Structure 1
Amino acid sequence: MAWLVAVVVVALVLLVVLRRRYVVARVWGHSMSPTFHDGERVVATRRRHYRVGDVIVFRPRSETADVAWRIKRIAAVAGDPVPAWLAADHPVVPAGRVVVAGDNTGHSEDSRQLGYIDIARVAGAVPHRPAPEGS
């Protein structure tokens, strides 16, 4: 009986550790096509630092959002010049923020609508998949 308790405790500890390191999210819609497809599940790994080109999973600002997670590619990080396509009051991305865009910009709700994304809302980065040519 003691071995069963030990197995359950180890399983619970592993679950807690894994949940702190990884997040599983589902792709909703076509904003990241052709890199990711509607309904596809991705695993994101928590990191300390993110770079331009990383695909991140983050929570939208609004708790009443239609999806729990958003998946977008980082277009600029803190200190980078603000991309020309983003109307902004600052010449550079503020500290603690990133600019995101979908790979399928015609069907993407991204920083053009959401504004800067607070890095504290980022759950992690999806293992590297390059952006499709032309994006």
Structure 2
Amino acid sequence: MAGLAAVVAALVLLVVLLRRRYVVARVRGHSMSPTFRDGERVVATRRRQYRVGDVIVFRARTGAKDVAWRIKRIAAVAGDPVPAWLAADHPVVPAGRVVVTGDNTGHSQDSRQLGYIELAGVAGAVPHRPAPEGT
């Protein structure tokens, strides 16, 4: 019995450690099409730093009870000039925040509606998939 308890404890610890490093999210909608399809599952890895072009999984703070993960591509990071398409009061992206956009901008709720995304709400980055041509 003691051996079984040790195995169960080890498995629980392993799951806890993996959940701190990885998050699995489901793509909902067509905002990241054609890079990701609706219903596709992605695994994001937590990072210390994010770059323009990274696809991230995050929870936006919208005030509503929005619990679904969102998946978008970073368009600008802290210190970068604010993209012209984003109405903002600052000339540069503030510290601790990023600007995100969908690859299919016509069907994307992104920083144009959500504003800056706080890095504290970012779960991780999906292994690199380049943006489609023309985006």
Q: TM > 0.5 between the two?
A: yes
Aligned AA (1:64): K
Structure 2 partner of 1:20: 20
For 2:90, the aligned partner's letter is H
The one-letter code of the counterpart of 2:49 is: H
- After TM superposition, the score normalised by the length of structure 2 is 0.97
- Distance in 1 between residues matched to 2:71 and 2:106, nearest whole Å: 15
Whole-Å Cα distance in 1 between the matches of residues 28 and 79 of structure 2? 30
Which runs of 5 or more residues in structure 1 are unaligned? Answer: none
User: Could you tell me how far apart the structure 2 residues matched to 1:61 and 1:27 are?
Assistant: 18
Structural mapping, 1:1-135, within 5 Å: 1-62=1-62, 63-65=64-66, 68-135=68-135
CA RMSD of aligned residues (A): 0.8
Q: CA deviation at 1:2?
A: 1.5
Query: 1-side partners of 2:103 and 2:68: how far apart?
Result: 20
- Secondary structure of the residue aligned to 1:16 is helix
Matched position secondary structure for 2:68: coil
Q: Distance in 2 between matches of 1:68 and 1:101?
A: 17
Question: Match for 1:57: what amino acid?
Answer: V
Cα distance per residue 1:14-57 (max 9 Å; x no partner): 00000000000000000000000000000000011000000000
Structure 2: any 5+ residue segments left out of the alignment? none
Which whole-Å CA distance do the structure 2 matches of 1:131 and 1:105 have between them?
12
Cα offset for 1:60?
Answer: 1.8
Structure 1 residues 64-117: Cα deviation after superposition (integer angstroms, max 9, x where no partner): 12x510000000000000001111111100000000000000000000000000
Structure 1: distance between partners of 2:60 and 2:54: 17
